[in-house]
Structure 1
Amino acid sequence: MVEVYVGGVARDKNGNYILVLREPTSGNELPIWIGEYEAMAIDMELRRLKPQRPMTHDLLAEILRTLNIRMECAIITELRGDTYYALLLLQWGNDVYEIDSRPSDAVAIALRMGAPIYLSEELAKTLGMLPAKRDPQTERFLRLVGDIELPDW
């Protein structure tokens, strides 16, 4: 599996919402078109905005925590036609459950649960999203550059 993180939520030229997943070493991005409600739920969590009352993803995350169900990860598993599929991996006691999900819901819940997000190896290969291999010298340079703080413009 290839770990990705949420690069953000954007809108295309037609006003449709896009979830941007990014592979950290290569910087490759995977855009997934999502609904307005899901975009809002993901964006609010990224910006640490809390609604006055729990939204659906907040409610589900609270139920999981209350019942001591651990979210192992979210996995974007495949692309069929123009539709992406995902799974939630949940651990309850000694049992692990795979729950079918839309990618937007899987990501929204993973963010709330602090769970990692992955692409299946097969999907990552198909999309050209495998992590880039870097030599040690490049890694040292990137660590150095990463420590530079830019001024507040």
Structure 2
Amino acid sequence: MNLVQLTIKGISYSHTQNGAYALILNEVNGDRKLPIVIGAYEAQAIAIAIEEDLKPPRPLTHDLFKTFCDRFNIIVTQVIIHKLVDGVFYSSIICKNNDKEEVIDARTSDAISLALRFDAPIFTYQNILDKAGIYLREQDLEATDEDDDYIDEDEDDNENNESLSDTIDEFLNMMPTEKPNELAAFSVKELNEMLDAAVLNEDYEKAARLRDELSKRNL
């Protein structure tokens, strides 16, 4: 399958999904956009990597990971969004340590945050772009071209940004939504027990979901 390179067009707040942002990826040498729903924390991590003027007083998780990799000569060479299932994008981080290459599974928002910090290219497969890629209206394309990479929804007077947000919301409503979080009803103790059982049974996909839920509880 052919790989298509993507660049980051901007981040737009979703008015229809509380606390959600749409990360807009742009097809290189093409007009299609790939919207990916991310949370507020993930949007902040990506925005900080985009905007040179945004410098947190202490390193964020992705900044710490970058420093760790630098110290041990690990380089992120590229990120590939390789799968789309039930509205959820799955990504891989391609790393190199000297001449050894490794492929690491990652959430797409984390993978893109690291790609920005390593100045690594972002790719997806043609079939994913065919399935989830969108064309923005002409006036919205003009709006994004006039703005910075990061779309600041706090600028109330910017009608172009509002128009873009409306368009993004339309497409997000048409996209498949993630399944309800069935793990929310379990306690931390129960989640840890389920995680141990999943690892023992080599059900690593379930283990990854449990680990993510526990990570959210520890924020």
Question: Once the 2 structures are TM-superposed, how far is the Cα of residue 62 of structure 1 from its aligned partner?
Answer: 1.1
**Which AA in structure 2 matches 1:82?**
G
Q: Residue 176 of structure 2 corresponds to which residue in structure 1? A: none
Matches within 5 A, 1:127-142: 127=132
How does the TM-score come out when normalised to structure 1? Answer: 0.79
Aligned counterparts of 2:129 and 2:69: Cα–Cα separation in 1: 29
**Which AA in structure 2 matches 1:113?**
F
**Which AA in structure 2 matches 1:85?**
Y
Aligned counterparts of 1:46 and 1:4: Cα–Cα separation in 2: 15
How does the TM-score come out when normalised to structure 2? Answer: 0.56
1:90 aligns with 2:95: yes
- Where structure 1 has 5 or more consecutive residues not aligned to the other structure, the ranges are 130-153
Structure with more strand by fraction = 1
Structure 1 window deviating more from structure 2 (103-112 vs 24-33): it is 24-33
Structure with more helix by fraction = 2
Q: Residue 77 of structure 2 corresponds to which residue in structure 1? A: 72
Q: Residue 3 of structure 1 corresponds to which residue in structure 2? A: 5
Q: Residue 35 of structure 1 corresponds to which residue in structure 2? A: 39
Structure 1 window deviating more from structure 2 (117-126 vs 74-83): it is 117-126
Asked if structure 1 preserves the Cα contact closer than 8 Å seen for 2:23 and 2:43, the reply is yes
**Which AA in structure 1 matches 2:4?**
V
Q: Deviations over 1:105-147 (max 9, x none)?
A: 0000000011001112332343458xxxxxxxxxxxxxxxxxx
Number of equivalenced pairs: 129
**Which AA in structure 2 matches 1:39?**
A
Identical columns (%): 34
Aligned counterparts of 1:4 and 1:23: Cα–Cα separation in 2: 5
Aligned counterparts of 1:116 and 1:105: Cα–Cα separation in 2: 14
Q: Which has the larger radius of gyration?
A: 2
Question: Once the 2 structures are TM-superposed, how far is the Cα of residue 64 of structure 1 from its aligned partner?
Answer: 1.1
- Where structure 2 has 5 or more consecutive residues not aligned to the other structure, the ranges are 135-219
Q: Which runs of 4+ in 1 moved over 4 A?
A: none
